[in-house]
Structure 1
Amino acid sequence: MALIGVREAAERLAISPRRVQQRIEDGTLPAVRVGSQWAIDPARLPLAAPRSSRPLSPRMAWALLDVLAGVEPTVASTERARLRTYAERLWSADDPAALLRAWMARRAERAEFRVAAGDLADLRDDARLRPSGVSAETSFIVSATFEAYAVPSDVPSLVDDYFLVPADRQDGNVVLHVTTVVPDTTAWPVLATDLAEHLGSRESARANELVRLAPSGGQEVSP
């Protein structure tokens, strides 16, 4: 399929060309340079559409992930009922990955870096990092990107030890979710959330599959 330009992408997304440019620059709309112009794969536009719901607070986002995994969250009873409503909406959604992207956007700080290819293996084995998303064994996605969770206090030393260079989504090969809450990245709700955030069709399809394989109530399911 032929690539399209910024103006046509803006028309299809019902936003301004300037907004398309901003989304390319902040990495939320995948694009490639063709000469002096940006070119966009139209197949990626539905995944890059504006968020369909407001993000939850970090506390409520983690609580919702607990609910989805079948873990009783430490929240008030009124909040628990609200979270159950979110869970039911997710399980009945046509595109649950889009909802996860929207609701979970504030669960952690997303930091993108570039590292030398020769250092990726050592980074994967570093005990300060917990692999997640495309780097989780159960993602079944082959990716050149390394993705993991890290606590804020470890990030400066990781940057120094591996000469991590800040990068955008197009150029980076390391994604760190920086948060004081380091989750069980083998749990399907965390994996689905991390994959949905990538915006790619493979990752979103796998995120949707994980949601649909999980029976209501959040019991563990086979991949």
Structure 2
Amino acid sequence: MTLIGVREAAERLAISPRRVQQRIEDGSLPAIRVGSQWAIDPSRLPLAAPRRSRPLSPRMAWAMLDLLAGREPTVASTERARLRTYAERLQAADDPAALLRAWMVRRADRVEFRVAPADLDDLRDDDRLRRAGTSAEGSFIVSPTLEAYAVPTDVDGLVDDYFLVPADRQQGNVILHVTTVRPDTSAWPVLATDLAEHLGSRESARANELVRLGSAGGEVAP
């Protein structure tokens, strides 16, 4: 049996090595110790796929999401043409969720926290957050974790107000996507992107469904 390391697993899953390490630590990605390194059986990566494109810059990632949602992105004409090519690739892909993971990983900084269960509902309703991913309306996925977007200037206040403690994936119950953008998290391109990042089969299946429904509905710009 040929085993691969953390870095190669990250390349196949189109995520960062740190994210692979988190999944090993929380038990969602099986791995064994070989000396001081983790080794992974590639057949245990059900969603693995070679990285098919470099990540888009944050600016181009949000422009791409605008384009998919039927809005005119504020980019140069040459960049708009490039994004239309990406949109066509997404529509034609057998697994569009894998492309979204590869392209959109830099759209925001992902940070995870732990909050007391008694404070979770209040945090969920805080106006400084925009619920996203599995917490967004339209995901049709039940999760005990709160997932939301927040602007950088609000994060320290949220941490102080709710006593948020940095946590790993196993112990965390809050995922914040930190970016200066205030996205419409119910729009199918944003929701599909957020769900694709989870790597779970349910989330990826829903992301693929959203891409196909959105594209069929004419929301992807020609």
TM over 0.5: yes
Aligned to 1:196: 196
Q: Are the aligned partners of 1:29 and 1:48 in contact in 2 as well (CA < 8 Å)?
A: no
SS in 1 for 2:138: helix
Give the equivalent residue in structure 2 for 1:218. Answer: 219
Whether contact under 8 Å (1:115, 1:163) holds in the other structure is: yes
Distance 1:22 1:140, change over 3 A: closer
Matched, 1:124 2:118: no
CA distance in 2 between partners of 1:193 and 1:90 (Å): 12
1:56-101, CA deviations, whole angstroms, 9 ceiling, x for partnerless residues? 0001000000110010111111111000000000010010000001
Matches within 5 A, 1:158-197: 158-197=158-197
Describe how 1:1-223 pairs up with structure 2 within 5 A.
Answer: 11=3, 15-16=4-5, 24-27=20-23, 31=27, 45-49=45-49, 51-215=51-215, 217-218=218-219
Aligned residues of 2:130 and 2:150 also touching (Cα < 8 A): yes
Tell me how far apart the structure 2 counterparts of residues 53 and 169 of structure 1 sit (CA, whole Å). Answer: 26
Percent sequence identity is 74
Unaligned runs of 5+ in 2: 10-16
Distance 1:87 1:167, change over 3 A: same
Query: Aligned-pair distance for 1:44?
Result: 6.0
Q: Output one character per residue of 1:24-50: Cα deviation in whole Å (capped at 9) or x when no partner.
A: 42448962599x979989886132555
> Which secondary structure does the structure 2 equivalent of 1:176 belong to?
strand
Give the length in aligned residue pairs.
207
- TM (norm. structure 1) is 0.82
Q: Secondary structure at the match of 1:52?
A: coil
- Relative to structure 1, the CA distance from residue 42 to residue 120 in structure 2 (aligned partners, 3 Å threshold; closer, same or farther) is farther
